[in-house]
Amino acid sequence: MIGILGGTFDPIHFGHLRPALEIQEHLGLDELRFIPCGLPPHRRRPEADVSHRLAMVEQAVALHPGFSVDRRELERDGPSYSVDTLESLRRELGAAVPLCLILGMDAFAGLSSWHRWQDLSSLAHLVVAHRPGSDEPAALEDRAAARRAENPADLRAAPAGRILCVPVTQLDISATAIRDRVARGGSPRFLLPEPVLTYIHRHGLYRACSTGNPG
């Protein structure tokens, strides 16, 4: 079973990595692929270019077993639609491998604004990360009633089509705040992995930005 976590990762930080680890452990994923977004369809262009964002993700996941980086959205022209990515993965991996698209609760609530969103469930399971004890939005009940999974075994039993909520530690860290802190000359140490911080300093990233894009 393979997990898919997309994002601009501008830069990647512990707010991405800690929930990813908890989902990997909870689901017993064989692999969790981080997929940096090439051209985000729902937000402004990232501050750092694709080569830097890819390198930072590679630095962040290098030492953790089961984490990997997938470059396909960076190598594809046009907007980075999740449905295109999942179709590409299906062509590569076949129809039988369970795929789990990992989303935050906010992203899930806005899923109907995504390109060809109705096709996502035919390509992957949806794994919705949420803060323990938080209320689930009405969108979850509306869409999940017939497809709600009770446990990870339900996901392993089929290649796609189920929805599972997973409580995770959600750290109040944003890429926007990290970029702004760097631009002001402050230190984002302990908000992101040390190799990523070293990379940012080495390449002079984010020094010119004052108000970054949402992250």
Q: Say whether pLDDT at 155 is over 90.
A: yes
Q: What is the pLDDT of residue 31?
A: 96
- Helical packing angle, 50-61 and 194-203, nearest 10°: 150
Q: How many helices (H) and strands (E) does the chain have?
A: 9, 6
Query: What average pLDDT does the structure give for the chain?
Result: 89
**Would you state the structure tokens that stand for residue 81, as one six-digit string?**
């639609």
Rg over alpha carbons for the chain, rounded to the nearest Å, is 17
- Hey, what domains does the chain have and what are their CATH numbers? 2-171 (3.40.50.620)
pTM of the full structure: 0.89
Distances (CA, A) of 166 to 4, 152, 155, 169, 193: 15, 10, 13, 10, 24
Confidence of residue 41 (pLDDT cuts 50, 70, 90): confident
Q: What are phi and psi of 22, to 5 degrees?
A: -65, -35
**Would you state the structure tokens that stand for residue 86, as one six-digit string?**
């999942």
CA 191 to chain centre: 17
- Name the residue with tokens 């940012």: 200
Confidence of residue 213 (pLDDT cuts 50, 70, 90): very low
Q: What is the pLDDT of residue 109?
A: 84
**In this predicted model, what pLDDT tens digit does every residue of 64-86 receive, in sequence order?**
999 999 999 998 888 889 999 99
Mean pLDDT on 19-41:
94
Mean pLDDT on 196-210:
86
